[in-house]
Amino acid sequence: MTKVAEPRSATRSRVDGVDTARGLALIGMFIAHAAPVAATLEGAELLAIADERPRLLFALTAGLALGFISGGTRPTPAARGFAGGPARRRLRIQIGIRAVILIALGLIITATVAPLVFIILDVYGVAFLVLLPLLFLPKQVALGVGIVGLAIAPGLAVVLSREQWVADARLARVNLPVDWFISGAYPVIEWVPVMLIGLALARYGMTRPDVIAWTALIGTAAAIVFLPAGVALLELGAQQQLDPSIAASSVTSFAVGESLQALGNVGVGALVVAATVTLTGLARERVRRVASALLSPITAMGAMPFTIYTVHLLVLAAAIRVENGFKTDDSWPLTIGLIVGSMVFAWCWRRFVGRGPLEMGMRFVSGRTRNGGPRAT
């Protein structure tokens, strides 16, 4: 009997376009973390692009990754038994182990290396733990909950962060859980909805032309509609704060503005993912080959985000210096060095070794090399 080969799209374990989008998010983080303050308003507005969108794009691709490792369009089937049967339970344990490692590493780097940036590793791990019971939601439910949650959570975080009990928690030295979920730079209540949207997109099929088209269309519409409105409300809130008679109204402006801005920025992220997946996987063969070759260093970065992000924290910590009595690590040589160095290292490592070093370690410790797992399609 002749064995029929599976289609290439059914046997691939990664979607290059998603890795490319994640690599762009890393570059945006490098710029946000290491670029010096711009001397002109135009330059400041340009650098502001890297301030908010990369972290939400990173969260979106994290949700896509969870969707891929849990089966993509064909999620790991449920079975009788606790947590959906042995296969789903094993996958949740593997993700849980990764989450605990991320939390521990994030806290260790914060306490010992102490770079001058907010660290996402521990928040990332906490978000993974929160998502474990939501991992196999129906795709329609995951998408709906993600969108509604994203519309509410950023504004809710603004309101809750001003509550007295948050200040009391900080005084009682239990600020870490509060920062993780509400008042930190990367609150989990905002990250989880974005990850759910990414998870749902993986379930719908991020290599399907119709899904890509709808993702690009809705993402563009969200960016056009919500971003200007969100920015306008945030500016209004800043003005209201200056007038004591209407200062209380600024909380509402900030809350609604943050939610609208988050919706718009995730729309930008969805558009970026749609574009990179199209260029590297769905375009005509000649276009696809050229785009894949040109973007391969960025794709390689995005294929090993744990390694690249962790090393960049160590580099930032080593670059700390004192200027005018203040600690800083900002410089254009450092920014360019981080981007170019990460591209060269990631491309060479992926070309000659394969999976990123920390990714290999994480995979081994969590047990995926021993137990295997569903391939992403």
Burial category of 332 from C-beta neighbours within 10 Å (exposed 0-12, middle 13-18, buried 19 and up): exposed
pLDDT at 247: 79
Q: Contact, 130 vs 99, CB < 8 A? A: no
Residue showing tokens 């997946």: 277
pLDDT at 10: 35
Backbone φ/ψ region at 71: left (φ over 0), alpha (ψ -120 to 50), beta:
left
The C-alpha atoms of residue 339 and residue 349 are separated, in whole angstroms, by 15
Which H or E run contains 321? strand 321-323
Biggest alpha carbon distance in the chain? 83
Q: Which regions of the chain are under pLDDT 70?
A: 1-13, 38-51, 369-377
Residue 55 structure tokens: 């972290």
First to last CA, the chain: 26
Going from the C-alpha of 359 to that of each of 157, 188, 330, 346, 354, the distances in angstroms are 32, 23, 28, 12, 10
Complete DSSP assignment for 270-303: HHHHHHHHIIIIIS-HHHHHHHHHHHHHHHHHHH
Buried-exposed string 287-299: b where 16+ CB fall within 10 A, e elsewhere:
ebeebbeebbbbb
Residue showing tokens 């924290």: 313
Nearest in space to 255 (alpha carbons), one of 236, 279, 274, 270: 236
The C-alpha atoms of residue 267 and residue 217 are separated, in whole angstroms, by 9
Q: Contact, 88 vs 79, CB < 8 A? A: yes
Spatial neighbors of 58 by CB under 8 A, at least 6 apart, are: 22, 25, 26, 29, 120, 305
Beta carbons within 10 angstroms of residue 180's beta carbon: 21
Q: Contact, 338 vs 60, CB < 8 A? A: no
Angle between the 285-303 and 305-318 helix axes, to the nearest 10 degrees? 50
Residue type, 277: V
pLDDT at 287: 93
Beta carbons within 10 angstroms of residue 371's beta carbon: 12
The C-alpha atoms of residue 302 and residue 309 are separated, in whole angstroms, by 10
